[in-house]
Amino acid sequence: MADAMGSLGHKLALQLACTSARWLTSPACAHPVEVMGLRFASKLGIAAGFDRFGRLARRAGSLGFGFNEIGSLDHGAIAQLSAQAHSPGTARLGINLSLAPDISLGTLRGSLARAWPLADYLMLNLIGPGSAALLGAEQRPRLRQLLAAARSEQRRLNGSGRSVPLAVKLRCLPGQVPLALAELLLELGYDGLLAAHDPGPPATRQRYRAWQDAAQQAQACAQIEQLRRLCGGQIALMSVGGIQSAEHLQTRLAAGAELVQVHSVLLHGWPWNVQRLLAGGRPERQ
């Protein structure tokens, strides 16, 4: 029952976002920034999972977002995106791609090639259930092989003259700051790293409320600071998980994140509160 209610709430929130984007035309309080060689109208974006198949897509810019990351998607699902990905709007479009241990190098390259012309940036997802097996020590050679192949394919695609950054989403839980994986991304020359501070779905109300604890927010900021010390300015650093207020947003940015994504606040706080968040107010519904 809880999962069904959560799914219904998600559908309603997405529908409301799509409807609002049709009549909102001038988002307030945008703060442009250049990250990974791209200009984002705002440092705040939508995390993968909210607009999985790109119904909102670039029109998220009308709500005040600088970018919208759709997915996570496998090779077959990317083919469904062409119409939505080319819809008008000011938000940058990221495409989040599933990365599983059994994916062939050919399929991985094909997924990148299929998504590359549609996206402003690409994100490889290493926090999905199917990716867990790749994170064990015994799978490290396989993970390196996949990440190296993806990076090589990105270089080939970008050789045509259009440059699409490639980043990786890593889990960043208490006591599990992925420093070794961050070092691997630096070695391979990736453009960005997205630190995910929340365990992932289902996005329960209890976990949403837990993120209102200042200590939990401080811990996420400490993790960002640790990653920033390691990465320096060599790789773009992004943060997702638990952002519910302007204060949360600002502290993640102050800790070293260049872009910040939100998800649960859209389910519990509703899309129009994004402008309040950017302007310094708190979401109305808790």
Looking at residue 139, what is its pLDDT? 87
Q: What is the tens place of the pLDDT at every residue in 53-110?
A: 999 999 999 888 999 999 999 999 998 876 667 778 999 999 999 998 899 999 999 9
Cα-based distances in Å from 23 to 13, 17, 56: 16, 11, 13
Looking at residue 173, what is its pLDDT? 86
Please state, for a pLDDT cut of 90, what percent of the chain lies above it: 62
Q: What is the tens place of the pLDDT at every residue in 122-156?
A: 999 999 888 888 988 888 999 999 999 999 999 99
284 within domain boundaries: no
Dihedral sign of CA atoms 218, 222, 40, 210 in order: negative
285 within domain boundaries: no
CATH number, domain of 125, equals: 3.20.20.70
Looking at residue 261, what is its pLDDT? 96
Q: What is the tens place of the pLDDT at every residue in 100-114?
A: 889 999 999 999 999
Number of domains in the chain: 1
- Burial environment of residue 168 by CB neighbours within 10 A (0 to 12, 13 to 18, 19 or more): buried
50 within domain boundaries: yes
pLDDT, averaged across the chain: 88
Structural domain containing residue 166: 2-279
Contacts of 2 (CB under 8 A, 6+ apart): 202, 204
DSSP state letters, the chain: -HHHHHHHHHHHHHHHHHHHHHH--S-SS---EEETTEEES-SEEEPTTTTTT-SSGGGGGGGT-SEEEEEEE-HHHHGGGHHHHTS--SSEEEEEEE--TT--HHHHHHHHHHHTTT-SEEEEE-SSGGGGGGGSGGGHHHHHHHHHHHHHHHHHHHTTS----EEEEEE-BTTB--HHHHHHHHHHT-SEEEEE-S--SS--HHHHHHTT-HHHHHHHHHHHHHHHHHHTTSSEEEEES---SHHHHHHHHHHT-SEEEESHHHHHS-TTHHHHHHHTPPPS--
Cα–Cα dist 121/123, whole Å: 7
Looking at residue 7, what is its pLDDT? 74
40 within domain boundaries: yes
286 within domain boundaries: no
Looking at residue 80, what is its pLDDT? 80
- Please count the residues of the chain: 286
Q: State the distance between the two ends of the chain, measured CA to CA, in whole angstroms.
A: 21
